[in-house]
Structure 1
Amino acid sequence: MPFTRLATATTPTCHIGLGLAAIGRPGYINLGRDEDLGEDRSVQTLHTRTHELLDAAYAQGVRYFDAARSYGRSEEFLADWLKKRTDVDDVVVGSKWGYTYTADWTTDADKHEVKDHSLVAYERQLAESEALLGDRLDLYQIHSVTPESPALTDKELHARLAEAARGGLTVGFSTSGPAQADAIRAALAVEVDGEPLFRTVQSTYNALETSAGPALAEAHDAGLTVIVKEGMANGRLAAGNAPGALRTVAEETGLGPDAVALAVVLRQPWAGVVLSGAATTAHLASNLHAPAVDLTEAHMSHLATLAESPQSYWARRGELPWH
């Protein structure tokens, strides 16, 4: 698996990845986005910003970069950076299929993305991803699997995914929604010719939403690499919005609430890669202090009081505006 590159890396930030959801398109649901991006969200401006973030991340030890077909032009921006930076042959590149970007580079579209987990969608989107990323694409994940997703039961799709895996592509899945644990366990049971199909899982886990933790531990024990997304809860755990318990621990550790929030995830023994979703180099630099946060058991107990029910968390997330 390409993730063995991360296991042998020596930089303290190697297990933090950079997700491009917030900068590959002009509209997203992260809080504080207006301040982070300003009014100029042209293709060229976000292309330049993405390259600045990728340069900064790589210089500070980040080696995993995460895109998706539905993240606007994230794959295109990443592909352009990889062509420019011929010295970055040690990075791991992941993307996702299953959602189509439909906002036409606006922030006020009726629908920003449309979900489709069919075999037809997979074949179309894999061709699109490979046209941009070529052999730099290491990991391809089904985007936001839920327990009712047809991707969990479509045998023909499973066969095609297994074929791609035999060709060298790592096959994984991501999850979203209040039933993440159920989706993870269902995906772990998917086999082709008696062998597990999926080698990675990417799920939401943070101080507010911890429900997937036991299932992610099971995935890790089964040999999957666990990637954690939304460790900052779409900005709800960032400095301007951080709840009191998080601010208290941040003050005691001398680092920002964002670093503490990501440190909580890094502390989980099953966490392989934890994504930063930073949209500015300053926020990225702050996020990358996470490995230096010294969390005591008392800190962890205090932060555990922040956990919400998955139903409440995902209902709140669903109310966040695209802006």
Structure 2
Amino acid sequence: MSFARLAAATTPTCHIGLGLAAVGRPGYINLGRERDLPQVRSVDALRTRTHELLDAAYAQGVRYFDVARSYGRSEEFLADWLNARPDLDDVVVGSKWGYTYTAGWSAEAEQHEVKDHSAATYERQRAETDALLGDRLDLYQIHSVTPESPALTDKELHARLAEAAAGGLTVGFSTSGPAQADAIRAALAVTVGGEPLFRTVQSTYNILETSAAPALAEAHDAGLTVILKEGMANGRLAAPHAPEVLRAVAEETSLGCDAVALAWILRQPWAGVALSGAVTITQLTSNLHAPAVDLGDDQLARLAALAEDPRAYWEKRGQLPWH
């Protein structure tokens, strides 16, 4: 399994990965983008920023990089970076299919992405991903599975995914929405030839949204690698937007709110990889302090009390503007 290489990494930040959702396209829902990214977000400007982040991340021990077909040109930017560095054989690359990017490189587009979990979309997007990443792709995930997703019941799709897995590709899924736990449990039940289909799960998990925790623990116990996304709740846990309790704990540790928020995630015994969504090198470096944060029981309890009802959390997330 490709993720064995990541689990065996010896760098201090081996459990932090870098996700390129926020730098692969000009518009996204993270707070503070107007401050963090260039005013002119041309393809070349964001390609340069992405490569700078990848260089900094690799130099500081990050080995897992996460992209998706719907993240604008994220696969292209990562492929360019990898092609210029053919000797980096310890990098693990994950991408996702199931959403099509439709914004045409505009932050003001009426529709930014379209979801479709059909076998036909898998075949089309798999070919597009292969054209860019080729054999550098280690993990291919169904993007944002929900309990009602046809990807959970489509036997033809399962057969095609199992064929890809037999060829050496790790097959996984990601989840979104207030019913993540239900989606995870449904995906764990998917088998082909009596064998579990999925080897990884990537879910939204942070101090504010903890509802998937029991199901993620079950996935871990079933042998899946657990990848955790949106650890900063799309900027809601970063200064200056962070809750007062988080700011207080950060002050006690003498580190940033972001490092504390990611450290809280990494304290979960089933957490495999926590993704950084940094868009500046300063943010990335601060995020990478997370493994060094030592949180006491009282601090952990105070942070845990910030958890929101998942329906309220996802409603707030849905109201964040693309900008």
CA contact (8 A) 2:171 2:197 kept: yes
1:151 corresponds to 2:157: no
Gap regions ≥5 residues in structure 2: none
Paired position in structure 1 for 2:313: 313
Q: Tell me the secondary structure at the aligned position of residue 75 of structure 1.
A: helix
CA contact (8 A) 2:12 2:291 kept: yes
Deviations 1:113-164 (A, max 9, x none): 0000000000000000000000000000000000000000000000000000
Deviations 1:24-74 (A, max 9, x none): 000000000010003110000000000000000000000000000000000
Paired position in structure 1 for 2:130: 130
Among the aligned pairs, what percent are the same residue? 80
1:16 corresponds to 2:16: yes
TM-score by length of 1: 0.99
Deviations 1:171-221 (A, max 9, x none): 000000000000000000000000000000000000000000000000000
Q: Report the alpha carbon displacement of residue 7 of structure 1 after superposing the two structures with TM.
A: 1.8
Residue identity in the other structure for 1:15: H
Q: Tell me the secondary structure at the aligned position of residue 30 of structure 2.
A: coil
Distance 2:215 2:60 in 1: 31
1:230 corresponds to 2:230: yes
Paired position in structure 2 for 1:92: 92
Distance 1:10 1:142 in 2: 29
Distance 1:87 1:285 in 2: 24
Paired position in structure 1 for 2:6: 6
Distance 2:179 2:154 in 1: 20
1:286-301 matches, within 5 Å, as 286-301=286-301
Residue identity in the other structure for 2:88: V
Residue identity in the other structure for 1:33: R
Deviations 1:212-264 (A, max 9, x none): 00000000000000000000000000011010110010000110000000001
1:276 corresponds to 2:253: no
Distance 1:11 1:137 in 2: 21
Residue identity in the other structure for 2:96: K
1:51-90 matches, within 5 Å, as 51-90=51-90
Residue identity in the other structure for 1:27: G
Q: Tell me the secondary structure at the aligned position of residue 4 of structure 1.
A: helix
Distance 2:133 2:293 in 1: 35
Q: Report the alpha carbon displacement of residue 288 of structure 1 after superposing the two structures with TM.
A: 0.3
Paired position in structure 1 for 2:193: 193
Distance 1:183 1:160 in 2: 20
Q: Tell me the secondary structure at the aligned position of residue 227 of structure 1.
A: strand
Paired position in structure 2 for 1:172: 172
Distance 1:34 1:266 in 2: 29
Please provide the CA RMSD for this pair: 0.5
Q: Tell me the secondary structure at the aligned position of residue 138 of structure 1.
A: strand
Residue identity in the other structure for 1:190: V
Q: Report the alpha carbon displacement of residue 312 of structure 1 after superposing the two structures with TM.
A: 0.3
Paired position in structure 2 for 1:249: 249
Residue identity in the other structure for 1:11: T
Q: Report the alpha carbon displacement of residue 86 of structure 1 after superposing the two structures with TM.
A: 2.1
TM-score by length of 2: 0.99
Q: Tell me the secondary structure at the aligned position of residue 93 of structure 1.
A: strand
Gap regions ≥5 residues in structure 1: none
Q: Tell me the secondary structure at the aligned position of residue 140 of structure 1.
A: strand
Q: Tell me the secondary structure at the aligned position of residue 96 of structure 2.
A: strand
Q: Tell me the secondary structure at the aligned position of residue 13 of structure 2.
A: coil
Deviations 1:81-104 (A, max 9, x none): 000112311010000000000000
CA contact (8 A) 2:38 2:45 kept: no
* Count of residue pairs brought into register by the alignment: 323
Q: Report the alpha carbon displacement of residue 270 of structure 1 after superposing the two structures with TM.
A: 0.4
Q: Tell me the secondary structure at the aligned position of residue 17 of structure 1.
A: strand
Q: Report the alpha carbon displacement of residue 305 of structure 1 after superposing the two structures with TM.
A: 1.3
Distance 1:217 1:201 in 2: 11
Paired position in structure 2 for 1:47: 47
Residue identity in the other structure for 2:134: G
